[in-house]
Structure 1
Amino acid sequence: MNENGSSVLHNRSFLRLWIARIFSTSAFQMLSVAIGWQMYALTDSAFQLGLVGLAQFLPMLLLTLPAGQTADRYDRRTIVYLCQLIESVVVLLLVLGSMQGWLGSVHLLTAAALLGASRTFEGPASAALVPDIVEREQLPKAAAWSASAMQTAMIVGPSLGGVLVIWGISAAYIASLVALLVSTVLIFFVKTVHFVKKLDAVNMDTFLSGLKFVFARKIILGTISLDLFAVLLGGATALLPIFAEDILKTGSLGLGLLRTAPAVGAIVVSLILTRFSVERAIGKMLFASLVVFALATILFGVSHNIWLSLFALVLIGASDVVSVVIRSTLVQVNTPQEMQGRVNAVNSLFIGTSNQLGEFESGTMAGLVGAVPATVIGGLGTLAISVIWMFWLFPVLRTQKTYQAEEG
């Protein structure tokens, strides 16, 4: 590994944040497996499964702008710390409810909504912590390491969640609670060095300043809107319980493997990017990664073989992490330090829309036409969106050669 890549982890605060993200993301991956599995077991409904994503999305839609203001006005480390404490309380209630046998679909949706609300405040603050901790020239490497943390968690979390639900839903909830508490302790000891506190009076102008900033810069708007629409249509992970149970017939253990497969491809690529970061022809690399993502989604949709399905999911994860690293670095490089919270809040809204609302869209589409057609249609939609964005609406993305900040 080169000197710049290793120096990022030599930063103790970044190392603590990196490990904390592994634990917290692992917790939420386990929660996703457990809540989704329990919801489908209780209702046997693809629509109800999609409602879990909608329950997480609605609080994000309502609270994103206040969350951005909060992240730019108060200590971001403290915000993340408090949010994870709240999330731990919610998971503790899930533990008690599962052990005592009173958890129902309404309770699961309520928990998903509370977790979504807390994550809405945690997300922008956590994302803005990275440039608070590392130097600007280290952001591509930090983004790659951050992606590797996320993907490590996406290997550990779903696999562990899939195994634990065999022993009982409460076991998965308890493991999630422990992981969240470990993350909370690590965040408590993170120290920031570049934080710029923004103390302007809160009014409608400052309240909407994050949105105005994003829409004034084509690179940022194109980047986060591309994620919104491409992943919104192409997300197949919400349907994995249906594929595992009804199509591939592999049960909960197979569900864990399916949830793990994208992360296997992603973590391999993200670790490569920590050593050889994408810093040239990034626009072409972004478009290529989206094409691979779309084609792999279609392949997964038509597959009835577990090994071919796992291969397709590995390709999905590998291509997605290239896109994630490029997009997150573009956003951070093109955003002033004092605006990081508000811009990352808008970015989180777009990402949350593509993920949580994408789950609702996938569940609804699967309920109407079936899981296989829904996945294939989603892959074709992602491919179409990528072409429209890169060649028509935001050609500046395709022609982007480096991470140089946009003027404006």
Structure 2
Amino acid sequence: MPSIPVSSAPSGGEPPPAVVPLHRHPGLPAFLVARTASSFSACVQAVAVGWQIYALTHSTTALALVGLAQFLPMAGLLLPAGHAADHFNRRMIVVTCQCIEALSALLMAIGALGGWTTPWMIYAMVMVFGAARAFEMPCQQTFLPSLVPVHVFPRAAAVSSSLFQAAAVTGPSVGGLLYGAGAGVCYLVCAIGFACACVGTLCIRLVYTPRPRVPLSLATFVEVAHFMRARPDMLGAISLDLFAVLLGGATAMLPVFASDILHAGPLGLGLLRAAPAMGAVVCSVILVWRPLNRRAGARMFMAVAIFGVATLVFALSRSIAVSIIALAVLGAADVVSVVVRGALVQLRTPDSMRGRVSAVNMLFIGSSNQLGEFESGMVASLIGPVGSVALGGIGTLAITIAWIRMFPGLWRLDRLDDITPE
């Protein structure tokens, strides 16, 4: 496994920091294995769902409804899930959710292999998956700050992101290949992957300290709202990513581009889905060894602008090679935003509120992926897929310019390795 320095590079003539292998941090390897297995399975499932629903309906509206079906339970449950993450055993919540994901994928495999899958079955499975992810993600987001020291969090987050993205590279490609054998095979692989993630999560060493149970109420989230309002850098980073993903996301249209515009087939769809993760892996590896220790805020804004330009290039491309490169650049740019936002959210929040703040973060960011798919699909039904994706890229550039003016403190953000809870 790679190693991470205990502290950032010293100034002057001080000796280099000691290097601590990742396996020396108890629970971190198990966390990385579980997160990677879950990511791989989710990516394979996304390929199967997207291609199968389009094959059954040949409708961009149906693709949009897939995103909506996953967004609605996530939006409705994330805040109660954040409350649960702050008052119950976070590890056992994640284990339960991963078991549900494995069982739902297994049921879809049985339906696909039996030949009786319908669009409404797919929507139902996606809604169950969205509900499980609503509880799983806020809890999982709190694991890393509990497993590594604060001063190595940016590098540890980059390592986690690189493995997450490596799974996202192989998942779509494998999903495209497996779909040639049928959607049922894809779902069966997903079920096995989610089961492996469940076992990995059980192996994570986390100390559960029961806290006084506070009833779920509006006051608990008013507290979070006040906490975030007092930290405009955090709010700016979360909302910037929200609108960038909401407007610039082209993921929902990949089946249409692969089938009707680039004429690349299921394997081409897998490569297109893997391309953002390919770029993200490269960027993540770079950030492991050269973390964002200078001008982090300005670099994040530049990365979001590149995200918008790459989206626009993808929309106008008619070459599979150019499209893959554009998506790879898009994925690399997105990693910078993820690392900055993760450091601000996780390190600036006390542990007693991390579940609820992570839930708000995931409501803004995680749900925006699904809502972005719905938006892209509905706009595509009106002006076509090319116009929808191109308009999203232009919108992302406009949002970036606006946010620089609205959040000047975020633009001036310098270091990430000295952020502490406030």
CA-CA distance at 1:270 after TM superposition: 0.3
Alignment pair present for 1:240 and 2:254? yes
Aligned to 2:415: 402
Return the offset for 1:194: 8.2
- Structure 1 residues 173 and 6: CA distance shift in structure 2, 3 A: farther
Find the aligned partners of 1:122 and 1:45 in 2 and give their Cα distance.
31
Is 2:50 the partner of 1:36? yes
Whole-Å separation in 1 of the counterparts to 2:79 and 2:288? 32
In the aligned structure 2, how far is the partner of 1:202 from the partner of 1:138? 34
Q: Distance in 1 between matches of 2:317 and 2:23?
A: 40
Following TM superposition, by how much is the alpha carbon of 1:12 offset from its aligned partner in structure 2, in angstroms?
A: 3.8
So what's the TM-score if we normalise by structure 1?
0.96
Matched, 1:3 2:17: no
2:234 pairs with one of 215, 220, 230: 220
RMSD across aligned positions (CA): 1.6
Task: Please tell me whether the aligned partners of residues 166 and 281 of structure 2 are also in contact (alpha carbons under 8 angstroms).
Answer: yes
Once the 2 structures are TM-superposed, how far is the Cα of residue 208 of structure 1 from its aligned partner? Answer: 3.7
TM-score by length of 2: 0.93
Give the one of 29, 33, 40 matched to 1:15.
Answer: 29
Unaligned 5+ residue runs, structure 1?
none
For 1:3, the aligned partner's letter is: P
Task: Report deviation, 1:330.
Answer: 1.3
Shift of 1:24: 0.4
Quick one: which of 66, 77, 96 aligns to 1:52? 66
Q: Distance in 2 between matches of 1:8 and 1:400?
A: 28
> Partner amino acid for 2:313?
L
Paired residue for 1:356? 370
Amino acid at match of 2:35: R
In the superposition, relative to structure 1, how do residues 235 and 340 fare at CA in structure 2: closer, same or farther (>3 Å)? Answer: same
Aligned amino acid, residue 222 of structure 1: G
Matched, 1:338 2:352: yes
Contact residue 80 and residue 216 of structure 2 kept, 8 A: no
Tell me the distance in 1 between the aligned counterparts of 2:207 and 2:179: 42
**SS in structure 2 opposite 1:167?**
coil
Q: For 1:21, what is the secondary structure of its paired residue? A: helix
CA distance in 1, matches of 2:376, 2:186: 25
Cα 1:367–1:269 shift into 2, 3 Å: same
Given the alignment of the two structures, is residue 140 of structure 1 paired with residue 142 of structure 2, yes or no? no
Instruction: Indicate whether 1:107 and 2:121 are aligned.
Output: yes
Q: Is the 8 A contact 1:133 1:193 kept in 2?
A: no
Task: From the superposition, tell whether residues 105 and 6 of structure 1 become closer, same or farther in structure 2 (CA, over 3 Å).
Answer: farther
1:311 paired residue number: 325
Pair 369,310 (structure 1): closer, same or farther in 2 beyond 3 Å: same
The equivalent of 2:16 in structure 1 is: none
Moved more, 381-390 or 196-205: 196-205
What CA distance in whole angstroms lies between the structure 1 residues aligned with 2:409 and 2:209?
A: 30
SS of 2:62's equivalent in the other structure is: helix
Going by fraction, where is helix more abundant, 1 or 2?
1
Looking at structure 1, the residues matched to 269 and 184 of structure 2 have their Cα atoms a distance apart, in angstroms, of: 18
Question: Matches of 1:228 and 1:239 in 2, distance apart?
Answer: 19
Q: Distance in 2 between matches of 1:121 and 1:207?
A: 16
Note the C-alpha offset of 1:352.
Answer: 2.3
Q: CA deviation at 1:171?
A: 0.7
In structure 1, how many angstroms separate the alpha carbons of the residues matched to 2:328 and 2:105?
A: 30
Which of 72, 80, 95 matches 2:109?
Answer: 95
By how many angstroms is 1:199 displaced? Answer: 3.3
SS in 2 for 1:266: helix
**CA displacement 1:130-150 (0-9 Å, x = unmatched):** 112222112111211121122
Unmatched 5+ stretches in structure 2 = 7-18
Structure 2 CA distance for aligned equivalents of residues 323 and 196 of structure 1: 33
User: For residue 15 of structure 2, what is the aligned residue in structure 1?
Assistant: none
